[in-house]
Amino acid sequence: VIAGIIPTTNPTSTVIFKSLISLKTRNAVIFSPHPRAKRSTIAAAKIMLDAAVKAGAPPDIIGWIDVPTLELTNLLMTHKDIATILATGGPGMVKAAYSSGKPALGVGAGNTPAVIDETADIKMAVSSILISKTFDNGMICSSEQSIIIVKDVYDEVIKELKLRGAYILNDQEKEKIAKTIIIKGKLNPAIVGQSARKIADMSGVKVPSDVKILAGEVSEIGLEEEFAQEKLSPVIAVYRAENFEDAVEKAYRLVELCGAGHTSVLYTDERKQNRIGVFACKLRTGRILINTPSSQGAIGDLYNFKLEPSLTLGCGSWGGNSVSENVGVKHLLNYKTVAERRENMLWFRIPPKIYFKRGVTNLALRELQGKKRAFIVTDRFLFNSGVVYNITKVLEEINIGYQIFFDVKPDPTVSTVNEALSLIRTYEPDVIIAFGGGSPIDAAKIIWLMYEHPETDFKDIAMRFMDIRKRICKIPELGKKVQMVAIPTTSGTGSEVTPFAVITDDETHIKYPIADYALTPNVAIIDPDFVDSMPKSLCAASGIDALTHAIEAYVSVLAANFTNSPALEAAKLIFKYLPRSYAAGKDDPVAKEKVHYASTLAGMAFANAFLGLCHSVA
């Protein structure tokens, strides 16, 4: 059962609306009318009850309090059988609903400002405001309470207002009206929903018989200015603004004065999306209407298709409400979610192209024909020993320029990456070639990322996460600006086919494993020619590293058929050929080749199944 608190401002339409959304959600509703509007509220409730019963509803599906009092309303809201409260009314009643101990959907007061800038369609703006402000004699809480006009079009807007039936009050008349609409700091209930002519008569002001609204030109914004407050009648304040920015500021202050969270309106050229954006960011209102009559536009399904039809308009935490949207059917339903056990989709992601075989580098690099400039990342040993010549020779033959960065140390650091970036940004390559062991390839991956997306913050990409698919800070897609080619010269890390890069922060001296599939190279070239001369110690250490990768991938909780195969094949090759490779070195080229392939296969496995405790504590 729902408790429906009904205001004096729209006692019939609110009853009809709350009855409809209650019945649509199979809820009974009991209304507590406002004492000043109890007869119209009860009449509307009876009409809805008769229609519901005629359609087959239970005879007591809609009820009401015949003689409403504050005590009976409180008793209704706190009754044990009330499931939730739909509260529309003054701040005191809404606060009481929220304090009742029951779930409540209360809505706050409005003080809608309408800004008209110098790019607006003046006739359309004024016509819209008059349509809105005269609807129900301004009783709708979303109706405009003030117009803020940029000075360049101020006189034109005033002229249009007069033409369409607005009466512009002089200073004496404005003072009389002000004393009538607000009495002792509160809205005078006697003016609510009355015509402009009657309010003028109540104030001792003579106006034409066909007057539609009363407009007072004011400059102050505060509780000391009666026209700056919610008036719920065809009375409106008019402000002059120096420019658009000043108009937005005035609108913001009016909303914050006594209408936070409700509604605001901007009349502008819709092509001025930057202005709409500024207005939307500044104003703390749940409904921001553009070129729209606010009474009709805010209640939804008129003049726009974004707002749900509703006569209960939430103001969010800005206005002390639980919701900031138009209250509707969905707010009166409890939702059950049946969540069956499911596991995340798995995948097998590796570089799109993997070239392998002795001497394959010469042919594979020729696939880059058409590129202009290559940036080669390697270490000082490979540069000084001349091994990198195997790369540059092919690049020269296919007319690709190159620059070599060879200062990568065994554990690449952020400062090393920054040093490379200062060169690469000047050189502007269209391909990066990582040539070496894990360190040059890892460094190249971070250089690649920072070069393509200079806005990336290292601290963001180094943040921890539980699932590589759910990073707190996602790494953007790479490869649009520059292609990445990885050529390993050791048989251990498998970095040429993985989405991982390990880098050390110079300041904290912490080693960070960066993981994202965006870091997977575009091309991997697995050429055993580059590992023939590895010293025995490096052969053994890198071989055991590859074996560890294979074992950890195989026993991983994310292991799958697609990762088990390369993991098992890698382990098989290492057990068979690593002792031979260690013992005979380059005199056993077959063993060297098989161990090199095993390293890449293990890399493919752990790139998708990931590693375990051993690497976590390493």
Q: What is the mean pLDDT of the chain?
A: 94
User: What pLDDT sits at residue 618?
Assistant: 66
d(CA 396, CA 399): 5
pLDDT digits (tens, 9 = 90+) for 264-315: 999 999 999 999 999 999 999 999 999 999 999 999 988 998 999 998 999 9
CATH assignment, 532-618: 1.20.1090.10
pLDDT digits (tens, 9 = 90+) for 73-108: 999 999 999 999 999 877 788 888 988 999 999 888
What's the mean pLDDT in 127-145?
95
What's the mean pLDDT in 402-424?
94
Domain range list for the chain: 2-106, 112-304, 346-483+491-523, 532-618
d(CA 287, CA 497): 51
563 φ/ψ angles, rounded to the nearest 5 degrees: -100, -30
pLDDT digits (tens, 9 = 90+) for 211-222: 999 999 999 999
Find residue 504's DSSP bridge partners.
Answer: 413, 511
CB 146 within 8 A of CB 113: yes
141, 258, 315, 539: which one is catalytic?
141
Fold annotation for 346-483+491-523: Rossmann fold (3.40.50)
What's the mean pLDDT in 516-539?
95
d(CA 446, CA 409): 14
d(CA 516, CA 497): 12
DSSP string, 144-201: EEEEEEEGGGHHHHHHHHHHTTEEE--HHHHHHHHHHHEETTEE-GGGTT--HHHHHH
Instruction: Please state, as a whole number, how many other Cβ atoms lie within 10 Å of the Cβ of residue 27.
Output: 17
User: What pLDDT sits at residue 616?
Assistant: 76
Confidence of residue 38 (pLDDT cuts 50, 70, 90): very high
CA 204 to each of CA 212, 341, 370: distance values in angstroms, whole numbers, following the listed order? 17, 74, 87
* Beta strand 500-505 pairing with 523-526: unpaired
pLDDT digits (tens, 9 = 90+) for 540-594: 999 999 999 999 999 998 899 999 999 999 999 999 999 999 999 999 999 999 9
pLDDT digits (tens, 9 = 90+) for 373-386: 999 999 999 999 99
pLDDT of 468 over the 80 cut: no
pLDDT of 258 over the 80 cut: yes
Q: What share of the chain is helix, strand, coil (3-state, %, to 5)?
A: 45, 20, 35
User: What pLDDT sits at residue 456?
Assistant: 84
d(CA 355, CA 365): 10
Active site residue 141: yes
User: What pLDDT sits at residue 283?
Assistant: 98
* Beta strand 186-187 pairing with 144-150: unpaired
Q: Angle at the Cα of 347 (from 492 to 597), degrees rounded to 5?
A: 25
The percentage of residues in the chain with a pLDDT greater than 70, rounded to a whole number, is 99
- The predicted model scores a pTM of 0.71
Choose among 223, 290, 292, 303: nearest CA to 259.
223
Choose among 181, 171, 172: nearest CA to 145.
181
Fold annotation for 2-106: Aldehyde Dehydrogenase; Chain A, domain 1 (3.40.605)
pLDDT digits (tens, 9 = 90+) for 320-373: 888 999 999 999 999 999 999 887 777 899 999 999 999 999 999 999 999 999
User: What pLDDT sits at residue 466?
Assistant: 65
Q: What are the residues whose beta carbons fall under 8 Å from the beta carbon of 170, sequence distance 6 or more?
A: none
CATH assignment, 112-304: 3.40.309.10
